[in-house]
């Protein structure tokens, strides 16, 4: 008996030792299993040197030594051994005369301040790989790229790569509260241990910075946009300074969210009116204090006059007056203000879709040069599918920054496998037509369309203190995709998924091909079982988990799902054409053409723009009701397809993550049926039409679904 117990304990310890808990993200650096390739790499890589002495270079040296040793299964210690025999040289022209001499061959003029070149070059009679950049951070990014080539088993014989980021600000927005809850966070509590900072430094801060640097993220806003002014007090700023010091070598700048009423709340002033001298002085002083602690502080991210947050309108001022006041406070220190355009008001009877545009377009050209306006990808709120926000293209004199949501608030949270790169790409590749055909959203936000030097993209983080950071093993792919697309928005979803899978799981081709296809289809599958053909905002109240299209009793009309789907005895959908709210007029004429006419409207956005009779016949000859049924059933069946494909992967990857994903997929399948049946039973009370023949009948009643409650659902913040 004793022996059995001991053996089980030993096995448990062993399995824990070998556990793949997901902590290592995509930086696992497991030894390359293909022996022929391993030998090739070992032959090609000898005595790596990373030239320089800065903190960033030290990080780069460490990463390269660790990555190579681990991937190649033999010790590599950067900057030791024979420099003459070295075949991997990393550095900048300033630090290395070899690199300086080769700078035109390496094309360093093309890589700017953060980019890099990786090239195989014959040098002094020896073939060498150079990882070169104009700056130390460029060297670190290049080293991460090089390690990725090995992790993904790419050839390295004849490298000739030049890479520079398309966007300057590549950012994560944490919605983390000071009490460590995370608004819309589904992966545990905040990783910022405010209480024990600055004295206690969780090693996780360094791993977080490494992970971000490995995908090019160079800015993080630490706190919730529903801001708490306490973070601007001295004792918290000292904690922030500690984080900023840790992140600096990894090229990451820290931003804070600023509560507009802070001068009154913590500054003892009677007002926070942006035109008041004492308020202006307070912010100027606060900026001076912050920059004395954190010289490279990024600036403030501000949610104002939205969902109850204070803002300039409380004092009869507009967004530009509020933003500019803060911009002047940080300007002497090269700081910027990121002002969010996520505004809507219940006192405004206008379609919520139109409100941000109506408030912001008249302010175009009125913001100071160090203000960016951050716009969510769509006009409502991070739905499974939204047409792009009409502000893109409509404010040419203002740098607009993209705000995506990485945390899956409305997309199955940390339970559903949904790969978001296709959603991000769909928006980035949408044509605003603001300057004729080809005026893509991507070109608005990278500044190339309207010649802005400030430009960027942010994602609301999905990171928490769960051991695997993001809750769902596949949710890590969304953090990864945000970074890679911020660096280069022309990358395909497929390429990003391919890299992420290889780095996070295995290079096994059959696993990669199957699971990549699952990932690429997963977003569309989720749209089908949650919000097909343009339905939106029909999820449960408050926690936003699960379906609740019947909710109609909330004080604010635009918080009720019935406001959005408008189902009645005639049909379903929100008429946003000229005969309805006319939100469509906010788009340029060519974009309007995609959606304006019910007969030609892209079906994926049909109910977003039209109220459509239940028996209206679509191009595929189904009625709208039948199409809804088809999509809901198809979406939920497709989750079973995902499960089937996943089960075939047993043994190809570690058991621990295999099991985690398997269990989560089973919940996803149940929840897809919940979405399907709850929504169809509810909409059927209006359509009065039967399910098409052959469809399995729901086995629960609408009443059953209406009574479900989730009092402790996560993410409430």
Helices (H), 192-275: 203-214, 234-247, 262-265
- Least separation in angstroms between residue 416's CB and ligand GCV is 17
Strands of the sheet with 160-163, listed across from one edge: 49-50, 88-91, 126-132, 116-123, 160-163
- Least separation in angstroms between residue 460's CB and ligand GCV is 7
CA distances, 315 to each of 272, 307, 318, 322, 341 (Å): 8, 17, 9, 10, 18
Exactly one of 265, 307, 368, 508 is catalytic; name it.
307
Closer residue to ligand GCV in complex, CB, 27/182: 182
Give bridge partners of residue 299 from the DSSP assignment: 255, 336
For 383-466, where are the E strands, in sequence order?
400-405, 456-460
Exactly one of 381, 637, 645, 655 is catalytic; name it.
381
Q: Are 182 and 174 in contact (CB under 8 A)?
A: yes
- Least separation in angstroms between residue 409's CB and ligand GCV is 6
Instruction: Specify whether 409 is catalytic.
Output: yes
Binding to ligand GCV, residues 131-190 (CB under 6 A): 175, 183-184
Binding to ligand GCV, residues 299-358 (CB under 6 A): 303, 307, 342
**CA gyration radius for the chain?**
26
Closer residue to ligand GCV in complex, CB, 224/605: 224
270-279: Cβ within 8 A, 24+ apart: 271/315, 272/310, 272/314, 272/315, 273/312, 273/315, 273/317, 274/312, 274/315, 274/317, 274/321, 274/322, 274/324, 274/325, 274/326, 275/315, 275/317, 275/321, 275/325, 279/325
- Least separation in angstroms between residue 675's CB and ligand GCV is 19
Closer residue to ligand GCV in complex, CB, 377/415: 377
Closer residue to ligand GCV in complex, CB, 325/380: 380
Q: Which residue do the tokens 């300086």 mark? A: 100
CA distances, 163 to each of 119, 129, 188 (Å): 11, 16, 35
**Nearest one of 374, 362, 376, 379 to 318, comparing CA atoms:** 362
Instruction: Specify whether 307 is catalytic.
Output: yes
Among 193, 381, 603, 637, binds ligand GCV (CB under 6 A): 381
Task: State how far the Cα of 455 lies from the Cα of 502, in Å rounded to an integer.
Answer: 31
Residue 469 in contact with ligand GCV, rule: CB under 6 A: no
Binding to ligand GCV, residues 605-634 (CB under 6 A): none
Q: How many residues bind ligand GCV (CB under 6 A)?
A: 10
The residue count for the chain: 717
Closer residue to ligand GCV in complex, CB, 275/554: 554
Q: Extract the tokens encoding 357.
A: 């545009």
Q: 311 φ, ψ to 5°? A: -170, -175
Closer residue to ligand GCV in complex, CB, 360/658: 360
Q: Do β-strands 88-91 and 49-50 pair in parallel, antiparallel, or remain unpaired?
A: parallel
Closer residue to ligand GCV in complex, CB, 404/625: 404
Task: State how far the Cα of 698 lies from the Cα of 532, in Å rounded to an integer.
Answer: 18
Give bridge partners of residue 572 from the DSSP assignment: 612
Binding to ligand GCV, residues 505-534 (CB under 6 A): none
Q: Do β-strands 126-132 and 116-123 pair in parallel, antiparallel, or remain unpaired?
A: antiparallel
Helices (H), 505-596: 509-530, 561-565, 589-595
- Least separation in angstroms between residue 338's CB and ligand GCV is 13
- Least separation in angstroms between residue 172's CB and ligand GCV is 14
Binding to ligand GCV, residues 209-248 (CB under 6 A): 225-226
Q: Are 102 and 178 in contact (CB under 8 A)?
A: no
- Least separation in angstroms between residue 482's CB and ligand GCV is 16
- Mark 400-429 with x for binding to ligand GCV (rule: CB under 6 A) and - for no binding: ---------x--------------------
Closer residue to ligand GCV in complex, CB, 265/381: 381
Binding to ligand GCV, residues 53-92 (CB under 6 A): none
Q: Extract the tokens encoding 355.
A: 């409100």
Exactly one of 273, 409, 431, 450 is catalytic; name it.
409
- Least separation in angstroms between residue 356's CB and ligand GCV is 12
Closer residue to ligand GCV in complex, CB, 343/503: 343
- Least separation in angstroms between residue 607's CB and ligand GCV is 21
Q: Which residues are catalytically annotated?
A: 307, 381, 409
Q: Which residues bind ligand GCV (CB under 6 A)?
A: 175, 183-184, 225-226, 303, 307, 342, 381, 409
């Amino acid at each position: 008996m004793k022996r059995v117990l001991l053996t089980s304990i030993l096995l448990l310890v062993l399995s824990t030792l070998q556990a793949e808990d997901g902590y290592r993200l995509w930086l696992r650096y497991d030894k390359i299993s293909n022996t022929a390739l391993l030998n090739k790499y070992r032959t090609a890589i000898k005595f790596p040197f990373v030239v320089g002495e800065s903190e960033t270079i030290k990080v780069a040296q460490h990463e390269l030594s660790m990555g190579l040793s681990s991937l190649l299964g033999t010790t590599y210690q950067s900057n030791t051994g024979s420099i003459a025999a070295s075949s991997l040289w990393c550095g900048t022209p300033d630090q290395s005369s070899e690199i300086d001499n080769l700078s035109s061959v390496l094309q360093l003029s093309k890589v700017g301040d953060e980019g890099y070149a990786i090239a195989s070059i014959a040098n002094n009679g020896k073939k060498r790989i150079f990882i070169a950049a104009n700056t130390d951070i460029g060297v670190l990014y290049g080293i991460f790229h090089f390690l990725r080539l090995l992790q993904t088993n790419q050839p390295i014989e004849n490298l000739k790569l030049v890479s520079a980021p398309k966007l300057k600000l590549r950012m994560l927005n944490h919605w983390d509260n000071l009490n460590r809850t995370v608004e819309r966070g589904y992966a545990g509590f905040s990783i910022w241990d405010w209480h024990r900072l600055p004295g206690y430094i969780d090693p996780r801060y360094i791993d977080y910075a490494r992970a971000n640097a490995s995908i090019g993220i160079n800015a993080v806003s630490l706190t919730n946009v529903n801001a708490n002014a306490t973070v601007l007090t001295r004792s918290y700023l000292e904690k922030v300074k500690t984080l900023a010091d840790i992140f600096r070598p990894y090229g990451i700048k820290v931003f804070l969210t600023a509560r507009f009423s802070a001068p009154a709340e913590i500054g003892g002033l009677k007002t926070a009116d942006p035109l008041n001298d004492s308020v202006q002085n307070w912010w100027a002083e606060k900026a001076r204090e912050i920059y004395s602690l954190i010289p490279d502080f990024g600036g403030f991210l501000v949610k104002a006059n939205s969902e109850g947050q204070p803002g300039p309108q409380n004092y009869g001022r507009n967004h530009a007056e509020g933003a500019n006041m803060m911009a002047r406070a940080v300007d002497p220190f090269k700081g910027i203000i990121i002002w969010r355009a996520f505004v809507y008001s219940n006192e405004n009877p206008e379609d919520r879709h139109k409100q941000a545009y109506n408030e912001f377009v008249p302010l175009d050209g009125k913001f100071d040069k160090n203000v960016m306006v951050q716009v969510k990808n769509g006009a409502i709120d991070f739905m499974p599918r939204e047409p792009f926000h009409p502000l893109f293209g409509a404010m040419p004199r203002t740098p607009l920054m993209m705000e995506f949501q990485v945390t899956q608030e409305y997309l199955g949270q940390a339970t559903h496998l949904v790969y978001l790169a296709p959603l991000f790409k769909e928006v980035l590749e949408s044509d605003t037509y603001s300057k004729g055909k080809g005026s893509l959203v991507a070109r608005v936000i990278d500044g190339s369309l309207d010649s802005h030097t400030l430009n960027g993209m942010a994602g609301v983080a999905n990171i928490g203190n769960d051991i695997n950071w993001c809750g769902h093993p596949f949710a890590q792919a969304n953090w990864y995709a945000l970074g890679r697309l911020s660096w280069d928005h022309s990358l395909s979803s497929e390429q990003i998924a391919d890299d992420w899978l290889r780095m996070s799981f295995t290079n096994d081709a059959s696993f990669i091909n199957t699971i990549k296809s699952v990932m690429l289809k997963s977003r569309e599958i989720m749209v089908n079982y949650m919000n097909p053909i343009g339905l939106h905002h029909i999820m449960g109240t408050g926690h936003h988990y699960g379906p609740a299209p019947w909710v109609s009793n909330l004080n604010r009309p635009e918080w009720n799902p019935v406001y959005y789907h408008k189902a009645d005895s005639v049909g379903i959908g929100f008429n946003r054409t000229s005969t309805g709210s006319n939100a469509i007029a906010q788009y340029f004429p060519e974009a309007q053409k995609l959606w304006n006419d019910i007969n030609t409207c892209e079906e994926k956005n049909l109910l977003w723009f039209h109220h459509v009779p239940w028996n209206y016949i679509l191009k595929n000859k189904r009625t709208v009701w039948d199409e809804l049924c088809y999509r809901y059933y198809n979406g939920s069946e497709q989750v079973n397809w995902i499960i089937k494909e996943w089960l075939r992967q047993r043994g190809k990857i570690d058991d621990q993550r295999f099991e985690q994903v398997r269990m989560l997929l089973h919940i996803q399948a149940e929840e897809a049926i919940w979405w399907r049946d709850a929504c169809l039973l509810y909409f059927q009370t209006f359509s009065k039409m039967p399910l098409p023949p052959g469809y399995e009948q729901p086995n629960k009643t609408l009443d059953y679904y209406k009574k479900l409650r989730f009092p402790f659902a996560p993410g409430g913040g």
